Amino acid sequence: MKSPRQILLAVSMIYFTFCVSAGLNITFISHQIAVNAIVLYWALIVIRHLFLLRYASVQTPVPQPLPRRELPGVSIIVPAFNEDRVIEDALSSLLHLNYPEYEVIVVDDGSTDGTRDATNVVKQWAKVPIRYIRQRNSGKSAALNLGITHARNAFILCIDADSKIHPDALLQGISRDWGDIESCTGPDSGAR
């Protein structure tokens, strides 16, 4: 598709050629071409904006977040190996999530430092259930799998022990996609 400037230039050249072949005064013609070019340019701009305004209202509406009572429970699994220096900050960020129903499962993958003690410090003041599970050192994937087997909710979020999460991240992620998920599985499917 040609740009408005290219169209304007082509129309101006055709008009100029026509006027010259008709024997009209060139100074008058150049002045007339300039005036007509400006009018045509602004007319194309107005038509473009009217077109955009017409089709801007056709966009799909932005989905509204679901009411908090309709959101599903989420189990957050935190695999940890020698994370005593950072796990308190990670758990603190999880305890400040703006979400109605969730649990935190810390899976200690055979740590040799104070990961358990750091987790217990946070558990003392937590208003959200935090479960601590210890396994012999088997790797992150084994820790995640063990956490999934102990999860009480259908939705699982895995986050590293040295990571923090925005307070609205879980609410935004679940409320945006929950309608699509529910339509595929049904509200009481209990799918895992």
> For the domain that residue 84 is a member of, what is the CATH number?
3.90.550.10
43-69 pLDDT, tens digit each: 888 888 787 777 766 555 555 655 666
pTM of the full structure? 0.59
93 belongs to a structural domain = yes
71-104 pLDDT, tens digit each: 889 999 999 999 999 999 999 999 999 898 999 9
Pair 114, 173 in one domain: yes
Pair 43, 119 in one domain: no
Q: How many domains does the chain have?
A: 2
Pair 48, 104 in one domain: no
Q: Of the residues 56, 80, 99, which one is the last residue of a structural domain? A: 56
Pair 99, 122 in one domain: yes
147 belongs to a structural domain = yes
Pair 131, 152 in one domain: yes
Pair 125, 154 in one domain: yes
Cβ–Cβ < 8 Å for 172, 99: no
pLDDT at 151 over 60: yes
108 belongs to a structural domain = yes
Pair 23, 93 in one domain: no
* Residue 49 lies in domain: 4-56
In sequence order, what are the beta bridge partners of 122?
A: none
Quote the CA–CA distance of 129 and 103 in Å, as a whole number. Answer: 5
Quote the CA–CA distance of 139 and 47 in Å, as a whole number. Answer: 63
**Helices 115-125 + 87-95 axis angle, to 10:** 30
The phi, psi pair for 84, rounded to 5°, reads -60, -25
Pair 48, 75 in one domain: no
Binned at pLDDT 50, 70 and 90, residue 184 comes out as very low
In sequence order, what are the beta bridge partners of 176?
A: none
Pair 15, 101 in one domain: no
Query: Which of 127, 84, 90 lies closest to 108, judged by CA?
Result: 84
Pair 51, 83 in one domain: no
Looking up tokens 């999934």 gives 148
Pair 81, 136 in one domain: yes
119 belongs to a structural domain = yes
190 belongs to a structural domain = no
